[in-house]
Amino acid sequence: MSGRLIKAILGTGLLSLCFPLAAAQYDILIRGGEVIDGTGKPAVSADVGINDGIIVAMGQLSASDAAQVIQADGLVVSPGFIDLHSHAERSAATQPGLENLVQQGITTILGGNCGFSPVHTGEFLGEAATTPLGPNLALLVGHNDVRREVMGEAGRLATQDEVKAMQALVAKAMEEGAFGLSTGLKYVPGVYSDYAEVKALAGTAHQYGGIFTSHMRDEGALITEALEEVIAISEDTGIPVHVSHHKLVGLPNWGHSETTLGMITAAREKGMDVTLDQYPYTASSTRFSILFPPWSLAGGHGEVLKRLGDPATRAKVKDGIEKNIREDRGGGDPERLQIAHFAANPEWDGLTFGQVLAQQGRAQTLANAAELAMEIEEQGGAQGIFHAIDEKDVTQIMAYPFTSVATDTAGAIPGEGNPHPRSYGSYPRVLGRYVREQGTLTLPEAIHKMTALPAQRMDLTDRGTLAEQYRADIVIFDPQTVIDNATFTSPHQYPTGIEYILVNGVVVKTPQGMTGQHAGEILTHRAGKV
């Protein structure tokens, strides 16, 4: 064909008909990055090719082309982070993007923790599937809500018939895709259950191949007894057990992580499958009602108000609260109790009990702090932050080989309340503070705790590792700059250094910001009916 004829064809636009243009080899090609695959192995220089949301090639792909090329020179390419301890299912309907989580690099969340979940798993997941989700969403079935469905707020042991009814609900949830059973044995109504009840429900979950996660009965003075109970569940039923947000609260209990981790090691050496997770902070967060003695919470909020209205009973409740402030998660000081969100008086959000008492002209005593906790409960209650964890325990638990990183949080709306900074910073905090700055973990160790380790706990066979035929949930970050920016007084701050995020092969974040794409999927356990 002469050059003159080619020019003529070009002018008519017919060349593509005579010589079809080669299609791009990949949808997305991540080029030039340091790949940390999630297994704990050191980084390797490799490119990653993605088609249809699946990793289809890894290696030196410099000669390949793609519809979209991400140049990752100087950056780490890792699997997307998997959060084993999330409460974000609560926010999925109103905040489906869950940006505070995704911007940390979280691409999969396991909700329904601490015994709180939708009871009807299939119905909830069906509705969630119609929503454009930011991260992938999986669910546990929660003991507290199962018990409440059968028994209401009853503060007593369950009958055999009630246990059977709860087992039926757990079985139904597992058949509908739940990954296992969660407990919140510090909370109402689970706090009123006995070992036999919990064992029976865990046994049901085990029949479907599920896991058992537990916010234990105690994380303070009685933590060893609480951990013994959880380990016994594994020994008696065979179910894999996962200790939620492991920590030691209360100054008298600091330093006991060596004992608890030793107990877990001993259980594992006996053949029990026991793992744990942790958020990397020296403060926890939950409702201030956790300071109340369990008996005072029976029957629901209306009954609590009646008890607080009786002077003699109020005095007993106050004594119990004061004891918990002194010895448990109150940290022994009103300054260690911080208000995260108080709907009745948002002006208090972010203030400590000490600051509120000072504003009111009241002495900053434990007795007055206990009185303030009751006054808050009388006005509907509030979410709190409890500064009562020791940094040494944080690092010791973090370094334990079977600890996954987690958030223990839900969706957050910028500017609303004063949430725990874990809502925005847990994963970047580990990468920046505990890897780069302190050397508590190596980078491959940290990535393993964020990816393959939690994937193994969930029995996910196509996520959590960068490998061919795995789903393209990917985080690309700068190891020299990645860090959390959220603080306890200014929590609504996104992290630095997370450059790109892919969920199921869709780019949802670039250095310029979020792309507006929501590519999360509903994940169901293999026992469930998809």
- Per residue, the 3-state secondary structure of 356-383, as one string, reads HHHHCCCCCCHHHHHHHHHHHHHCCCCE
Residue 183 placed within a domain: no
Question: How far from the centroid of its chain's Cα atoms is residue 117's Cα?
Answer: 14
- Residue 121, in any domain of the structure: no
341 in a structural domain: yes
Helices (H), 238-310: 257-269, 301-309
As a whole number of angstroms, the distance between CA 131 and CA 150 comes to: 30
Residue 355, domain member (yes or no): yes
Tell me which amino acid residue 67 is.
Answer: A
Residue 196 resides in a domain: no
Retrieve residue 51's tokens.
Answer: 């088609």
Pairing of strands 383-386, 337-341: antiparallel
**Residue 346 CB coordination number (10 Å):** 14
DSSP labels for 159-225?
PHHHHHHHHHHHHHHHHTT--EEEEETTSTTGGG--HHHHHHHHHHHHHTT-EEEEE-S-SSTTHHH
* 136-139 and 106-111 strand pairing: parallel
User: Residue 257 falls within a domain, yes or no?
Assistant: no
Local structure of 133: helix, strand or coil: coil
- For residue 142, tell me if it sits in a domain: no
- Residue 358 structural domain: 286-386
3-state secondary structure (DSSP) of residue 76? strand
Residue 199 CB contacts under 8 Å (≥ 6 apart), including other chains: 232, 233, 236, 237
User: How many domains is the chain built from?
Assistant: 1
The 10 Å CB-count burial string (b at 16+, else e) for 149-182 is ebbebbbeebeeebbebbbebbbbbbebbbbbbb
Supply the pTM of this predicted model. Answer: 0.94
pLDDT (tens, 9 = 90+) of the chain, 530 residues, equals: 444 433 443 343 333 333 344 568 999 999 999 999 999 999 999 999 999 999 999 999 999 999 999 999 999 999 999 999 999 999 998 999 999 999 999 999 999 999 999 999 999 999 999 999 999 999 999 999 999 999 999 999 999 999 999 999 999 999 999 999 999 999 999 999 999 999 999 999 999 999 999 999 999 999 999 999 999 999 999 999 999 999 999 999 999 999 999 999 999 999 999 999 999 999 999 999 999 999 999 999 999 999 999 999 999 999 999 999 999 999 999 999 999 999 999 999 999 999 999 999 999 999 999 999 999 999 999 999 999 999 999 999 999 999 999 999 999 999 999 999 999 999 999 999 999 999 999 999 999 999 999 999 999 999 999 999 999 999 999 999 999 999 999 999 999 999 999 999 999 999 999 999 999 999 999 876 43
Whole-angstrom distance, CA of residue 300 vs CA of residue 188: 8
Q: Would you say residue 362 lies in a domain?
A: yes
Average pLDDT of every residue of the chain: 95
